[in-house]
Amino acid sequence: MWFFAVTLHTDLGEIKIELFCERTPKACEKYAHFPAHCIFLFIKTPGTGKGGTSIWGRKFEDEFSEHLKHNVRGVVSMANNGPNTNGSQFFFTYAKQPHLDMKYTVFGKIIDGLETLDELEKLPVNEKTFRPLTETRIKDVTIHANPFAG
């Protein structure tokens, strides 16, 4: 089994994510090759945080697994606009979210930095868009292992 992890260095602290490469290879390959494209729904890199494309230049299909669920705090999933519309955005869960299972591709989990997730959760948000009122950025990304490297 591959072990692949990335650490996101944000304005609020670090978050280390284990990625599930064997079960979600397309979602993980995106971040293996283009870690600077990591865009949260609530943490913005340069740009609006409202779009972006995948490394294939188009939306890509869902990668659902009965073994990967939104069953704990800190699950990492692809954001989408419906079936097979994964692009470049992802989100973290703040709690169990079973209603998201089989709707959003789970491709990782936070393995270190839950205190940073706590800080993100405390940010005040716009009541209509649920986006934070204070911009928070990913400053850098560290790749700890890369199963896609030659």
Is 150 a domain residue?
Answer: no
More confident residue, 99 or 32: 99
More confident residue, 72 or 29: 72
Is 117 a domain residue?
Answer: yes
Measure the CA–CA gap between 84 and 6, rounded to whole angstroms: 24
Which three-class secondary structure state does DSSP give residue 45?
Answer: coil
Q: Are 28 and 38 in contact (CB under 8 A)?
A: no
Q: Does 68 score more than 90 pLDDT?
A: yes
Is 87 a domain residue?
Answer: yes
| Overall domain count for the chain | 1
Sequence-separated (6 or more) residues with CB below 8 Å from residue 80: 59, 62, 86, 87, 103, 104, 105
Is 68 a domain residue?
Answer: yes
pTM for the full model?
0.81
| Domain CATH for 81 | 2.40.100.10
- Summarised one tens digit per residue, pLDDT across range 17-57 is 988 877 887 777 655 443 434 444 333 334 445 566 666 67
CB atoms within 10 A of CB 58: 10
Sequence-separated (6 or more) residues with CB below 8 Å from residue 129: none
pLDDT for 19 equals 87
pLDDT for 71 equals 97
- Summarised one tens digit per residue, pLDDT across range 122-135 is 999 889 887 889 88
pLDDT for 119 equals 95
Range of the domain at 94: 4-144
